[in-house]
Amino acid sequence: MNFSSLSEIAKYIVADGKGILAADESNPTCKKRFDSISVESTEENRRDYRELLFTSEGMKKNIGGVILFDETIRQHSDSGKSLVEIIVERGALPGIKVDKGLQPFNGSEIETLTQGLDDLDERCAEYAALGAKFTKWRAVISIGQNIPSQECIDANMEALASYAKTAQKHGMVPIVEPEVLINGEHSIEDCYDATSRSIKSLFDYLDSYDVDISGTILKPNMVTPGLDHAHAATVEEVAEATVKCLNDNVPTELPGIAFLSGGQTEIESTEHLNMMNKIGGFPWKLSFSYGRALQASALSAWLGKKENISAAQDAFSHRAEMNKLASLGKWSHSLEE
C-alpha cells in the first residue's frame, strides 16, 4: 500500500466504518489479562495470542489499523512471516505505541505527565523503518477534588503536540490520545468539562507546533459519568454530550476520531458509538480504537489453547464487525444474538 501523504494514511485507517485494534498492551497489562484466564504471560504466548487476532477473518474490511507494542512489531510467526506483514496482508496498517508511561505531575499523588519525548526522534526513525505507518501517545487526565488542573492538562497536551510533530517528521500519522479517566464519582457534566478543556488545549498546542491536522487522528474518551457516580447516563445522554463536546472543540479538517473504550463493556462501547453516528451532523469519521472492547470475548474463548483458536477468532471477528456497523450507525442489539 503506497500513500502520498499523511492525510491519505489517516483517511485509510478510518475509511468505510473501519477502526483500530489496540493491541499495544504493555507486558504488565498483558500479564493481568492472561492471569484472568490462567495463562502464563511469556513472549511466545503473547505472540500466539496476537497472531490469532491478526489472522482472524474479521480483520478484513473492519480493521484499518493495529496499534502494536515494541515487542510485537519485531515478532515473527511460526512460519517466519513478520506480524507486521500479516497485518498488512489483512488490509490494515501497523502502528506503534511510543509513549513511555506516566510520572507524577508536580509531585501530585493523582495527576500525571506522560514520558517519552527524550529519545522519541530516534525511536520514530526505527519504527518507520520497521514498517509502522502511524503512532500513538496517551495522556491521562484524572477527575477529582480540584482536578484536573489546567497546568496538568496543558503540560500533557503540549507533550502530545511535540510527539505529534516528531511522528509526522518521520512520515507517520500521530494518534493523539487525551484520556479523561472514567474512574471516580464525577458526574457527566464534570467529564464534559475536563474533556472539553483537554481537547481545546490539545488543538491549541497542535496548532502552535504546526502539526498537520489533516494527517492526525484523535483518540478521546466518551463523555460519561464516573464508574462510581450515583446515576448512570442513558445511551442518548452519553452520545449527545460527546458529540457536542467534539463539535465545540475539534477542527473540521481532522479526518477521524477513534474512541477508546476506557472501561466500558463490549456492548456499551458499541452502543454509544452507534448512537453518535445515528445523531450525525459532524465533519469527521467517528470510529473506534478499542483494546478490551474488541478482545475480551476472544480472550475468554481462547484460554491459551490451540484447539480454541478458531472460536477465539470468531469472537474477535464478531466484535470487529459489530463496531464497524456502529461506525456507520447501522448496529442494533438484535445482531448480537
Query: Which residues are catalytically annotated?
Result: 177, 219
C-alpha cell at 196: 472539553
Say how far apart CA 181 and CA 202 lie, in whole Å: 16
To 10 degrees, what angle do helices 43-54 and 292-302 make?
110
Three-state SS for 145-184 is CCECCHHHHHHHHHHHHHHHHHHHHCCCEEEEEEEECCCC
Three-state SS for 211-272 is CCHHHCEECCCCCCCCCCCCCCCCHHHHHHHHHHHHHHHCCCCCCEEEECCCCCCHHHHHHH
C-alpha cell at 221: 474518551
C-alpha cell at 141: 487526565
The residue among 218, 221, 284 whose CA lies nearest residue 252 is: 284
Place of cell 480483520: 59
Query: What is the C-alpha R_g of the chain?
Result: 19
C-alpha cell at 11: 483517511
CB 160 within 8 A of CB 198: no
